């Protein structure tokens, strides 16, 4: 039986090699680190967040971490997967992003009430290179499941970036806009509110919806 990840926030003295010492203890407990983030790295304080899958109970690991001379405190916390869950990322023009967000937030609320964990992130951006960089960065965001391209005109380097992140397993939805991005997306949706709704439905376990089963890709 596969164990669920646990969340750990380790407060330590900020010195070179902090991460090396912490991960060494986790490795000795056969912990599989699924996510790590350095929250603070000041000279006197280092806060590091881990999500770890352990073969047994977390208490022995927590005890050994606390015994490290550099460690001040260890907190056992709920994972970000448990709290914020799957992420929908919406980017593009401010007006279109806002409309997609209305649909996504409303639909996420409906599923989260039923036990899902879905969050919505937005970033209004202009400029081909800025948008292309942002699209590629989504593939590095933890728990990002769907990217919605919300704008009036997108193409060129943005299209290339969309194709790249799709190859890495990210679902990409696009508004029906000018430019070549709609041709590169998994789904094209004309109504921005509906685009937000469908993005959430695509990842919600509580929704009976699958992109793979759709007979057309433009709506």
Using the 8-state DSSP alphabet, how is residue 67 labeled? T
- pLDDT confidence of residue 175: 95
**Does the pLDDT of residue 107 top 80, yes or no?**
yes
| Domain assignment present for 1 | no
Domain boundary among 79, 100, 131: 79
**pLDDT 10s digits, 180-214:** 999 999 999 999 999 999 999 999 887 667 676 66
Q: How many domains does the chain have?
A: 2
- pLDDT confidence of residue 142: 87
Spatial distance between the Cα atoms of 141 and 143, rounded to a whole number of angstroms: 6
User: 118 and 160: one domain?
Assistant: yes
User: 88 and 57: one domain?
Assistant: no
Spatial distance between the Cα atoms of 189 and 151, rounded to a whole number of angstroms: 12
- pLDDT confidence of residue 215: 67
**pLDDT 10s digits, 147-185:** 999 989 999 999 999 999 999 999 999 999 999 999 999
User: 95 and 196: one domain?
Assistant: yes
Cα separations in angstroms, 79 against 48, 84, 155, 161, 201 = 13, 9, 37, 30, 23
User: 67 and 128: one domain?
Assistant: no
* Side-chain half-sphere CA neighbours of 207 within 13 A: 21
Q: Which domain holds residue 127?
A: 84-213
Residues of the chain with pLDDT > 90, as a percent, come to 74
Domain boundary among 54, 79, 104: 79
């Amino acid at each position: 039986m596969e164990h669920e990840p646990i969340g750990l926030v380790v407060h330590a003295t900020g010195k070179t090699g902090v991460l090396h010492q912490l991960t060494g203890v986790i490795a000795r407990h056969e912990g599989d680190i699924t996510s790590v983030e350095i929250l603070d790295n000041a000279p006197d304080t280092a806060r590091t967040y881990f999500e770890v899958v352990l073969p047994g109970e977390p208490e022995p690991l927590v005890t050994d971490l606390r015994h490290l001379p550099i460690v001040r405190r260890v907190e056992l916390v709920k994972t970000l997967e448990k709290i914020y869950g799957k992420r929908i990322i919406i980017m593009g023009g401010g007006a279109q992003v806002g409309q997609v967000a209305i649909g996504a937030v409303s639909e996420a609320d409906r599923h989260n009430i039923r036990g899902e964990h879905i969050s919505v992130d937005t970033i209004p951006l202009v400029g081909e290179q800025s948008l292309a960089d942002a699209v590629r960065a989504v593939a590095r965001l933890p728990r990002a499941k769907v990217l919605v391209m919300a704008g009036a005109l997108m193409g060129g380097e943005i299209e290339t970036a969309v194709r790249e992140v799709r190859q890495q397993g990210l679902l990409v939805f696009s508004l029906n806009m000018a430019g070549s991005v709609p041709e590169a997306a998994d789904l094209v949706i004309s109504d921005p509110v509906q685009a937000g709704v469908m993005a959430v439905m695509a990842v919600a376990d509580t929704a009976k919806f699958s992109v793979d089963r759709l007979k057309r890709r433009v709506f």
